[in-house]
Amino acid sequence: MYCLCSSRRRHILVCSRVDCTLNLLLSMEIFITYFLRYTMQVERMVKAAVVKEFKAPSLEIMEFPLPEVEPNDVLLKVKLAAICGSDVHKFKGEWFWPTPIIPGHEATGEVYQLGSNVKTDWCGKPIAEGDMVVYSSYYHCGKCFYCVKGEPTMCVNREELGGTITCDKPPHLNGAYAEYIYLKHHFPIFKAPENLSPEVLAPLNCACSTVMHGIQKIGLKPADSVVVLGTGGLGFYAIAIAKALNASKVIVTDMIDQRLKLAEEFGADYTINIKEYEKPEDLINKILGLSNHGFGADLVIDVTGHSSSLIPQGIRMLRKGGRYLEIGGDANMHSSSPIIASSFVPDSKVIMGVRNFSPIHLLQSLNFTQAHTDDFPFEKIISHKFKLEEINEAFRVASSREAIRVGITP
């Protein structure tokens, strides 16, 4: 018969207790692991607004799996997305949307997850999870005929988040009207200054950058007399940039008094409500009288989205040798405009169209806004805000001209 001494029995008892404790800890670890896995699987579904069919567009809230981030890519948590005028045209069926698509390209967000190889933004500034950023919604290949010619916005291989990339394939989250947006490595990102709010940052990616592109291309000179036709989001940036570049006079036209009042806050020297003029001739003569002692404006910038009817009038507002800049596009891209050569050739007037922007214009817009944040009320450009679930009402308001720029908050 085998007998254990008391010390040996105590040792076995202690070991048994240790084993039980270890087994309990192991069981808890297994439970926590599976619980976290289950929880993460539940939380990986995120919301986005989707256009399923181009005919009679309406947006439906759908759920998508939160994607794994590839080494060179970035996942953003959207803080604020804006409804661009181009989105309104598409929503109305005037421009084309491939479907199914998560619309929206004009936005800002917080870095939710960085790919393992991503350490800096496009300028080489260190970037980390939690940083606010703006991003370029356009991809330009850098190799096609137009890219090589220095015209990346004309890239034949151009891709646009929320515009050309559908959501039927992973990573799905290719538009800004969502809780998250996935940025592949070829979409540049820029770290945002901490003092700029989402309301100021969101419209930089498109509205401000496109205006910056246009004004640089047409060449706004100090002491120029400038006419801005239209006071949507683009119009206010046109006013601000013109004033910052020391335009001698900025004249603004619109048909909504509330917008014209805000134009004055942005520094407009003269605001004109076109509804007060029955005949286009009277409006043209008014602007001529305010510009260069009656000779006409040096530069007319049209951001109304209705160029077909306004170009013939706008050309007549120019002095000889003046420049006419059409930014964005017409509501009807295939409409015809009765422009005849005699309206601009004899007087050496220049007509230029600009659409989209490149990453350098976004960087310049970011720097411009930071430098002039105390000079202009940029935060007022987002005049209305809606939740993601209210996306269709948001588009209704954006389409009705009740708002300057509509913001969407997930």
Write the CATH number for 145. 3.90.180.10
Could you tell me if 84 and 186 lie in one domain?
A: yes
Could you tell me if 274 and 350 lie in one domain?
A: yes
Could you tell me if 345 and 367 lie in one domain?
A: no
Task: Indicate whether 82 belongs to any domain.
Answer: yes
Could you tell me if 282 and 388 lie in one domain?
A: no
Task: Indicate whether 186 belongs to any domain.
Answer: yes
Give me the phi and psi of 215, to 5 degrees please. -65, -35
226 close to 220: Cβ distance less than 8 angstroms: yes
Could you tell me if 198 and 265 lie in one domain?
A: no
Domain at 347, CATH number: 3.40.50.720
Task: Indicate whether 295 belongs to any domain.
Answer: yes
Indicate the number of domains in the chain. 2
Could you tell me if 235 and 383 lie in one domain?
A: no
229: Cα separation from own chain's centroid: 21
> Is 173 buried (19+), middle (13-18) or exposed (0-12) by CB count in 10 A?
buried
Task: Indicate whether 250 belongs to any domain.
Answer: yes
Mean pLDDT of successive 10-residue stretches along the chain, which has 410 residues = 47 51 56 53 83 81 98 99 92 86 98 98 98 97 96 96 96 98 98 97 97 98 97 96 98 97 98 96 97 97 83 95 89 63 89 94 98 98 98 94 93
Could you tell me if 169 and 260 lie in one domain?
A: no
Could you tell me if 366 and 349 lie in one domain?
A: no
Task: Indicate whether 13 belongs to any domain.
Answer: no
Spatial distance between the Cα atoms of 15 and 28, rounded to a whole number of angstroms: 20
Task: Indicate whether 147 belongs to any domain.
Answer: yes
Could you tell me if 367 and 388 lie in one domain?
A: yes
Single out the residue in 354, 371, 394 at which a domain terminates.
Answer: 354
Give the residue numbers spanning the domain of 49. 45-206+359-409
Picking from 59, 138, 152, the residue whose alpha carbon sits closest to that of residue 97 is 59
397 close to 403: Cβ distance less than 8 angstroms: yes
Single out the residue in 354, 373, 397 at which a domain terminates.
Answer: 354
Could you tell me if 202 and 54 lie in one domain?
A: yes
**Mapped to the 3 state alphabet, what secondary structure does 305-346 carry?**
CCHHHHHHHHHHCEEEEEEEEEECCCCCCCCCCCCCHHHCCC
Could you tell me if 120 and 158 lie in one domain?
A: yes
pLDDT of residue 188: 97
Single out the residue in 354, 373, 389 at which a domain terminates.
Answer: 354
Task: Indicate whether 8 belongs to any domain.
Answer: no
Task: Indicate whether 27 belongs to any domain.
Answer: no
Could you tell me if 166 and 154 lie in one domain?
A: yes
